[in-house]
A and B are shown apart, each in its own frame.
Chain A
Amino acid sequence: MTTTKTPGALEPDSPTPMKGKWPSVPHLIVNQARYQLRIFMRNPAAAFFTVIFPLVIFIGVLVFEPGGKNFLEEFEPSRYQQRATPAFIAFAVMGATLTALAMRVTVTRERGILRRVQGTPLPKWAYVAGHVGSSLVVAYALCFVMLVVGTLFFGVDIEWRLIPAGILTIAVGAAAFAALGVAQTAWIPSETAAPPLTNATTLVMLTTAFMPVSDVPRGVGWVASLFPLRHLVEALVPTYLPQTAAPGIQWGHLGALAIWGLIGLAGVIFGFKWEPQADAGAAESQKRSHRSRRGKR
């Protein structure tokens, strides 16, 4: 009689006793995105600033058609709504990806959730991909809502021949801003620092994107033209204009966005932090003071 194995006992000498089946990585990412979306929708502050806030401003601007010079003049003589709608869609895409991701991922890092995830068999990138996936869903949904509001209530014409260019532009822009959003968390030292730092980034993006080109010194205008929201606006607005010839893809601006995306990706790969940052310093100094106290005894 050969030795009988105790049911359920480990067999450490065999090459890893694996029970069950590994969930596939795409399944894991989609699943994570669904949980993140649920978390997003249950968080009223996040939902408000990402969805309601840009929508309200968008509608307000379309209702009042404010004058004044800004960058959108370049796209005259088309109607104001026709220029403003894609500009706001670009802004909303940035808010749903860059801003929302920088906030959310920082919060999960500082709460030690990333750290806990690291101790599980979930590939840690799948967890971050879930965050990105949910932010992309929100971004696309918001684009759609703005387009519908613009079309139904403000007479925005949809240039059907330019739709593929528009979809491609939003995809490239959202991906670039998502990468930048995750990368930005490396510079955010704590949960409390997240709102001011992400707001500062948003302000820089808005200023550079809508700066009135004719009124500023050439050098300032040139620096402003490097920033990614400006490129997204410049790539997206033409896809709404009747004078644009099909296919209307602004390759130069998409290329610039792609470079920004790669910069973001490099930042993520080389700078991303999994451990809570605010706690790390405190724990370290506590350890040190304990040591010196023991030394004295």
Chain B
Amino acid sequence: MTVPAIEIQHISKTYGEVTAVADVSFTVQQGEVLALLGPNGAGKTTTIEILEGHRKATGGTVRVLGFDPAKRDRQMRARLGIVLQDSRTDPELTPRECVAMFGSWYPDPRPVDEVLELVGLTSVADRRSGRLSGGQQRRLDLALALVGNPDLLFLDEPTTGFDPSARRQAWQLISDLGTLGKTVLLTTHYMDEAEFLADRIVVISDGRVLAEGTPSQLVGPHTDRVRITFRLDGAVVPPTGLGVHQLADGSWRIETRETTATLHDLTRWALDADVELEDLIVRRPSLEEIYLDLVGSTPPEPASEGAKR
């Protein structure tokens, strides 16, 4: 019988009139990698900061490794590794010195060289931290979180701002942590990242849990559904009864479980009415689309927040 690494029940956090977290509950078992997935402003960072002890929840109960994080117990902090979304290190110190300094605060630190090796900073270990690239800086953040030999790691948007190859490298690194037996809670707004790294995903939006499960459980209810999209010339309107709805870009979409029958009905109508179904596509929705549907957003959003920062 093991105690969960993280257990939160109905937590909320409000700042005056602004509600950052409305109602979030989930549990993370020891050794599990859980991704908190959601768009910016969903309450991911606030939730993780409550777990880290940086903020106090307005309501609900929180347990981290059996501790109340708001009390900021030193015993608890010795077993946590935290990568904040945005924090720097002393640019005058080298990565080796930074890691050694952080290590000296813990009762049971990992050897400095081993940590540098693990995050791949050995070759730049004696360079001033201020001269590291963004990706190297982020790996140093991870090194500082790992040097205390934590049981539980918090990674707040560990790959935001990375180029695709740096993201792949970071993914490899984080999934290696899983093999070290660490419990990991990470936040992300990328579905593919959550799917690649996490054993389980909690989708939150507007401060509430929308869905929870393994990647395949999340996709499960949608896998037997197929999307048919097409365009119509000018003023032509498709038939009712097939569940057709128009998208923001003017094209039409049908979601159906009975692909063959629906397609048959649609094409018969088109032949009868003598209209062309332009750009006719029949396919399963991608994970990204399922996620975006879940959080109530449409894919062609040019000012998508995930692209910023």
Q: Which residues of A line the B interface, CB within 8 A?
A: 8, 10, 12-13, 16, 18-23, 28, 31-32, 35, 38-39, 42-43, 108, 111-113, 115-116, 118-123, 279, 284, 286-288, 290-291, 294, 297
Contacts and interface: CB of A to CB of B under 8 A. Distances in A.
A243 B138 CA distance: 62
B87 to A, nearest CB: 3
B168 interface: no
A119 B82 contact: yes
Contacts of A23: 104-105, 107
Interface in B53-71: 53-54, 65-66
Contacts of A123: 74
B181 A19 contact: no
Contacts of B20: 287
Given A111-B87, A119-B54, A120-B102, A18 B75 contact: yes
A271 B258 CA distance: 66
A260 B148 CA distance: 39
Nearest to B107: A20
Chain B, interface size category, equals 35 or more
Given A39-B92, A287-B20, A115 B107 contact: no
Contact of B3 (A12, A20, A111, A121): A12
Contact of A294 (B41, B65, B92, B106): B41
Given A42-B92, A121-B77, A279 B104 contact: no
Interface of B: 1-3, 15, 18-20, 30, 40-41, 52-54, 65-66, 72, 74-75, 77-78, 80, 82, 84, 86-90, 92-93, 97, 101-102, 104-109, 128, 144, 148-149, 151, 181, 206, 296
Contacts of A119: 52-54, 77, 80, 82, 84
Contacts of A21: 107
B92 A38 contact: yes
Contact of B181 (A8, A287, A288): A8
User: Which 4 pairs across A and B sit closest by C-beta, in order of nearness?
Assistant: A112-B87, A20-B108, A290-B41, A20-B107
Contact of A120 (B30, B54, B75, B105): B105
B66 A12 contact: yes
Given A10-B2, A18-B75, A28-B104, A112 B30 contact: no
A12 B77 CA distance: 15
